[in-house]
Amino acid sequence: MKDFSYITHSDPAYIENLYQEFLKNPESVDPDFRKFFEGFDFAMSQVKTASNGNGAVMQPVEIQTQESSDWKREISAYRMILGYRNKGHLIADTNPIRKRKDRGANLDLSFFGFTEADLDKNFQAGTLIG
């Protein structure tokens, strides 16, 4: 099965029972469900639990350095990444004969509020935004 419709169309109690069986004996469940549960366990191992008084709440593990403590700059770094993903081809130098026409890609560092000094800094935009 390539898609996971067998999960989304199933009864949650049934899935929970299968998962409990998987925890006892992984070989006892269908191989597709086994892969799903292994992925679920892996994903759960990547987050930490914190209690808020109402029970356990899943929160992503945050990695933050001193350089990346300014969230506005992290957002700017994320916007710059998206800008290059969406418009980077507009500034690519792919024609050795003729210069590319300026299409106004707005991918300069200053457009995102950065300077040349920021090129050596590490940002954690993916960790903070997800």
The reported pTM is 0.44
- CB-based contacts of 98-101 (< 8 A; 24+ apart in sequence): none
pLDDT at 62: 47
Q: Of all residues in the chain, what percent are helix, strand and coil, respectively (each to 5)?
A: 55, 10, 35
Provide the β-strand partners of residue 81: none
User: What is the full per-residue pLDDT of the chain (130 aa) written as tens digits?
Assistant: 455 555 556 667 777 788 888 889 988 888 888 887 787 777 667 654 443 445 444 444 444 444 445 778 888 888 888 888 888 888 888 888 988 888 888 888 988 889 999 889 888 877 756 5
pLDDT at 116: 92
pLDDT at 5: 58
DSSP H or E segment with residue 49: strand 47-51
